[in-house]
A and B are shown apart, each in its own frame.
Chain A
Amino acid sequence: MSVDKTTVAKIARLARINVPDDRLEPLAAELNGILSWVAELDEVKTVHVEPLASVTGHALPLRDDVVTDGDRLNDILSNVPEEASGFFVVPKVVE
């Protein structure tokens, strides 16, 4: 499997990264280099193998369903690029 310019543009869109048109072709070449290398995995027989997502070997612990944190408006807003009246400000989404 290999990616072309159009696919790279689609991936960039999904990743929310603005990639200029003149970078699409070189990026496609770099990504294809990586993808053709990882294709080595096709040699491995994995028909009856379960995927492994976590190596911890223990079940995730449960905790009491209680509030353990909060009232930190100032902390949360302390690094905000733009703020108004205790809210995050973003470009207008709804007309």
Chain B
Amino acid sequence: MNDLLDLNAVEARKALDKKSISAVELTSAYLRAADSTSELNNYVTLTADHALAMAARSDERISDGTAGLLEGLPIGVKDLFCTKGVSSTACSNILSGFTPTYESTVTSNLWAAGGVMLGKLNCDEFAMGSANETSAYGPAINPWRGRDDIDLVPGGSSGGSASAVAARAALMATGTDTGGSIRQPAAFCGVVGLKPTYGRCSRWGIVAFASSLDQAGPFTRTVADNALMMTAMASHDPKDSTSTQDPLQDLIGAARDGVKGMKIGVPREYVMDGMDDEVVKLWEKGQSWLRDAGAKLVDVSLPHTKYALPAYYIIAPAEASSNLARYDGVRYGMRVGTDTLDGMYEATRAAGFGDEVQRRIMIGTYVLSAGYYDAYYLKAQKVRRLIKEDFDTAFHSVEALLTPATPTAAFPVGRKIDDPVTNYLNDIFTVPANLAGLPGISVPSGLTNDGLPLGLQVLGRPFDEASIYRVATVLENAAEFSETPTLMATRGAA
């Protein structure tokens, strides 16, 4: 038998149904893999007993003929999702020891479909970061290493999710994407990551960062696996008032459709200073792959692209400052006591929040404060409309857009950056989709000369994830991305 870890999700489902492997065997292999790659620091909590119990129940359901869509598949969960009875901290000290008494809708859906929870995955504190370096648990590490053989960041904020899937310490993983937090780490780690349309997955039970932008999505090794997991994750949820009632498309079948005759836009503004030449070349290659597959490539303009990032860094901190007001030391989480109520709030929040979170709360507080609201917050919301209208116009003439996922490949852990703005530029190609609420995917499509993965991004019309998967499948097939990272679990590593 092949190494259990070599099976992708679709293959593992078939093997489980044929009973050539058991869910307990598969889960055990992934638990060993997580152990053997623990230096990557991608798990913050491993729930081994829980996982094995879930896997045993999966084996029973497979025997009964009542297997679900994800029956027996081992899944890692970003620590931003609340999981009943399992520590859920958003990788922040302020939530240390927090154990929810409820389960997020997205993870409930995964377990209802037969998924097996392996544990909770590292991320940037409250999902604020692009390198997984703001986590209270320390940075997660990218399993890929360049020629210099130094630790590289996995991207962020869902860095642990991308790292774990790439290192085969999880077959699939959940992430959340507020400004690129699924697509950027997916690109840095050479895996597939989808940010669905805003409203497609319920936000209920996910620790809120910026509520008008946050969206949960899947990390997987292949596009077909991604469509499978997404089908199980999405649902209408009355507990999230922004959750859509539009029925989900046939995402699993979409991959078969190809892109013949499809019009795909190439936005001319997705070019920036400091962008690697290799990224530009890969983007051109992606265009020719799609052209060869019968798509018509169309030059499109999204004139307000350069304003997306500054608008985002007003809107997201503003929403965060409001959302994070709940961490006050009264009802749950950390409390640092003093003899006055305000003193307790201030001491608790100073001790519990890390530097980046404090910085964003302060920016958000400022742009929402009397006298500055119109100049910053309202202005950013107006620019947000213009950005969305750019996309609306483009989608009159094309069905999807092809862009690079990130301006560079993964960079070293601990890279000294004095200016927070430089870090924010990581999200330059991913942020516009969040502001406009559009779905987007990152597909591993090539390697740099240094041997690091690069991703291409496909953006689609609202609630048209099917078209994204069509394009992504063609890119995946043409790229023939079969390289594996330096640090990867194998069965032999047990």
Is the CB–CB distance between A3 and B366 below 8 Å? yes
Chain A CB within 8 A of B198 CB: yes
Leading 9 A-B pairs by shortest Cβ distance: A55-B437, A51-B381, A79-B332, A81-B335, A52-B385, A18-B346, A18-B350, A46-B382, A75-B101
Stretch with Cβ within 8 A of A (4 or more), from B33-41, B179-187, B284-292, B310-318: B310-318
Kindly list chain A residues whose C-beta atoms are within 8 Å of the C-beta of B350. Answer: 17-19
- Which residues of chain A have C-beta atoms less than 8 A from B99's C-beta? 78-79
- Our pick among B241, B329, B369, B382 for the contact of A50 (Cβ within 8 Å) is B382
Q: Which of B241, B338, B361 contacts A15 (CB 8 A)?
A: B361
Q: Could you say which interface size class chain B belongs to? A: 35 or more
Besides A33-B421, A46-B379, 14 other A-B contacts (C-beta < 8 A)? A15-B362, A38-B313, A38-B376, A41-B310, A41-B311, A46-B382, A46-B383, A55-B435, A56-B199, A76-B331, A79-B331, A81-B335, A91-B337, A91-B340
User: Closest chain B residue to A48 by CB distance?
Assistant: B382
Shortest distance from the beta carbon of A34 to any chain B beta carbon, whole Å: 6
CB-based nearest B residue for A74: B101
Question: Cβ of A84 < 8 Å from any Cβ of B?
Answer: no
By size class, the interface of chain A is 35 or more
Q: Are A41 and B380 in contact (CB under 8 A)?
A: yes
CA A82 – CA B383 in complex, angstroms?
Answer: 45
Is the CB of A53 closer than 8 A to any CB of chain B? Answer: yes
**Minimum CB–CB distance for A47 against chain B, Å:** 9
Q: Could you pull out 26 A-B pairs where Cβ atoms are within 8 angstroms?
A: A11-B366, A17-B346, A17-B362, A18-B346, A27-B362, A30-B359, A31-B363, A33-B420, A38-B376, A40-B307, A42-B379, A46-B386, A49-B382, A55-B212, A55-B388, A56-B199, A75-B101, A78-B101, A79-B99, A79-B332, A80-B332, A81-B329, A82-B335, A88-B330, A90-B330, A90-B344
**Is A54 an interface residue when CB atoms closer than 8 A count as contact?**
yes
What distance in Å separates the Cβ of A63 from its nearest Cβ neighbour in chain B? 7
- Cβ-neighbour of A52 out of B331, B339, B388 (below 8 A): B388
Q: Is B32 an interface residue (CB 8 A)?
A: no
Bound CA–CA A52/B388 (angstroms): 9
CA distance A57 to B242 in the complex (A): 10
List chain B positions with a Cβ less than 8 A from chain A: 97-99, 101-102, 198-199, 212, 238, 241-242, 244, 304, 306-307, 310-311, 313-314, 321, 325, 328-335, 337-347, 349-350, 353, 358-359, 361-363, 365-366, 369, 372, 375-376, 378-386, 388, 419-421, 435-437, 462
Chain A residues with CB under 8 Å of B244's CB are 56, 58
On chain A, the residues within 8 Å of B97 by CB distance are: 79
Q: How far is the CB of A82 from chain B (nearest CB, A)?
A: 7
Pick the contact of A49: B241, B329, B386 (CB < 8 A).
Answer: B386
What B residues does A76 contact at CB under 8 A? Answer: 331
Flag whether A70 is at the interface (Cβ < 8 A). no
Q: Which residue of B lies closest to A50 (CB)?
A: B385
Nearest-CB residue, chain B, relative to A91: B341
